[in-house]
Structures are given as C-alpha cells and as structure tokens.
Structure 1
C-alpha cells in the first residue's frame, strides 16, 4: 500500500515544480520536453513524471504529441485575448466573494499588500511590484473562500503567465495598475459586491491599445502562427 502513496507524492511534487517553472518562464511556450530529461532534472523515475505530464496536459498546460514529445503549447493572439477575458471574469468572481467574506486579519494583510504595491510603483520597481501584485491577488483568493473559483483562476493565470511576464514594464502600467488596486480595495472593504467585481474585471481586462502594446512587447516566438 505504501508504494502507490510514494508514487502519488512524487507525482504531485514533480507537477508542482513544473507548474512553478511554467509560471517563471523556465519552460517557455514552444519548448519540447522529454520524460527522460525531466526525470533526470527532478531526480525521480519516469513514472511520476509521466503522471505529472498527463495531469498538466489535462489542464491544457502541456501537449503530448506522438513522435515529438511533450510540448509547452503556444497561444495565438485570439486565444490569448479569450483567456484574458475569462481570467477577468473569474477574478471578478473572486473579488465579489471577497467583498462578502474577507476577515479582519485578511483586511490588514490586504492593506499591507496595497502599501507594498504603492511603494514599488513610487520607486518604478516593476520586479518588486510584480511580487506585491501577486500577494495582493493571493489575499483576494484566500478571502473568496471558494476553492473551485480559485482553482479556475490559478489555471487561467498559469496558462497566461508567459505572455504577461513583462506587462509591468510597459510605460505607465505601474501607476495604472496601482490606481486600479486602490479602487478594488475601496470596493471590497466597503462590502460592495457588484462594484468589487466590476473593479477587478476592469483591472484584469485588456483590450484596444493596451492589448496591442502587450502583443507588441512579446517575443514573436511565443505566439502560435496562423
């Protein structure tokens, strides 16, 4: 009975590490992987690697292509826009739940995260702002108290991660994002469900010139052709 548990634990560990590498950009879209090299990298046998790959493939984070191997899929421009639309909707759902359910402790953490965003924006530090921004959103997910909604958001964010990594380097983006954060905090702390949802959707939504700027700043090799 212990052997399957060990295998399952190793599979979960490998999957978690691969997810982290996808988010960090170490496994960029278009990268071709193979089970043997992954097993060597993570110091495990090929079985937990295969299980982790199948799990990630079921989420759309990897493609398993016969006679080619495991490929990190690329997004086309239309797919990217559609994913960002869905992300805006689901982030809005989490914000609306947080407006009803955020605890006193989480409110204090929320204000601290906003303060960190404000400081990073003031210093023009996009890297530090990205870290503070992640914390800001993680607090909202925790305050939503709805694991199903949060799972959807995390899956969408992971799928978009490679395409949003440099968004805070765009001119004026730090100040714009900070202003949006301020409005989100005001709405959630006031317990205004509809306004919280709308403020978050406007924060995540990207269209028109903003989307054009995002695409223009991407490495063309990250985008699917056609």
Structure 2
C-alpha cells in the first residue's frame, strides 16, 4: 500500500539517499565531489573514535578475532585480489566498530561507511594500495592490542583519510 512506501521513501530521504522533488516525485540523490570529500572527513573521525574506544574497551577474544582478520587480509594482499581483500577489510573494520562498545557510534559509522562503500572499494584498485592498507591494519591492530588509544585513533584517521585523498586525486 502507499503508506509503507511513503514511509520508506521518507526514511531514504532522511538518510540522504533519495531527494523528493516537488511535482516530480522522488529520485536517487546525486553526490557531488564536495559531498564525498566531506563524507570521508566525517568517516575518518568516526573510525578514529571507534579505534580509540576499542583500544580501551575491546575484549581479548575480540582482539584475537581482529588478529585473525588481520592475518586473512595479509593472505589476500599477497594474492592481489582487491575485491576479496575489500570484504575482509570490511570485516576487520566492523570488529573495531563493535569493539568500541558504543552501539550508537557503531550504527552511525556503518551508515556512513555504507554510503561510501563504492568509493572505498574503488580506491583499493590503485597500484600498491592493498599492500599499504594491510600495513596500516597491522599498525592499528598493534595500537589496539596494546591499549594505546591515542595512537589507534591517529592511525585509523590516517588510514581512512587517505581514501578521501585518493578519491580527490582520482577525480
């Protein structure tokens, strides 16, 4: 019926995925280059906050899971399979989001990450980026596992911010 469709479109409009145009209906929202750059800036801050909190709050079992995902990323990096690496990369980051033990922050970070997913995936196809990303993961993992919150946040910020810079260079 119309009511659930209308509510769904309002939800999508609220998240910025669609735009409602008077007398034209609802269309898929376009994202400008400036919007993308701003979204990557926010993403870097959100992920840095997740990493800082994870370094302070993450349980040992979660750190072990993160280590296993780090190993998986390392294996995939050697095979130069950017798409498979991307999936492992998402899992790696999601363990950090969950490890921050702040469900609101986790949800917001995933929402922004999902909006940026096509652009984040794209940057992994740049020569040498998968190898560099994996090295950055190792440093972030070390900071989290040793409880160095400030270092974890700084490294994560740099790790995500480079994606926005790469997009800017690409464009």
On whether the aligned pair clears a TM of 0.5, the verdict is yes
Selected match of 1:129 from 76, 85, 95? 85
Offset, 1:78: 1.5
Using CA pairs under 8 Å that are at least 6 residues apart, name the structure with larger relative contact order, 1 or 2.
2
CA distance in 1, matches of 2:164, 2:145: 30
Runs of 4+ in 1 over 4 A off after TM superposition: none
Match of 1:85 in 2: 41
Match of 1:118 in 2: 74
Q: 1:112 to 1:205 in 2, by over 3 A?
A: same
| Count of equivalent residues | 171
Selected match of 2:157 from 201, 206, 212? 201
Q: 1:50 to 1:144 in 2, by over 3 A?
A: same
Matched, 1:95 2:77: no
TM-score (norm 1): 0.71
Q: 1:162 to 1:65 in 2, by over 3 A?
A: farther
| Contact 2:40–2:163, Cα closer than 8 Å, also in 1 | no
Output aligned runs, 1:21-100, within 5 Å: 45-100=1-56
Q: Secondary structure at the match of 2:162?
A: coil
**Structure 1, residues 18-65: CA drift from partner, whole Å, max 9, x if none?**
xxxxxxxxxxxxxxxxxxxxxxxxxxx443222122112112122122
Match of 1:176 in 2: 132
Gaps of 5+ in 2: none
CA distance in 2, matches of 1:48, 1:190: 48
TM-score (norm 2): 0.92
Match of 1:186 in 2: 142
Q: 1:179 to 1:57 in 2, by over 3 A?
A: same
Selected match of 2:166 from 191, 210, 216? 210
Matched, 1:160 2:83: no
- RMSD over equivalenced CA pairs, Å: 1.7
Offset, 1:214: 3.6
Q: Give the structure with the larger helix fraction.
A: 2
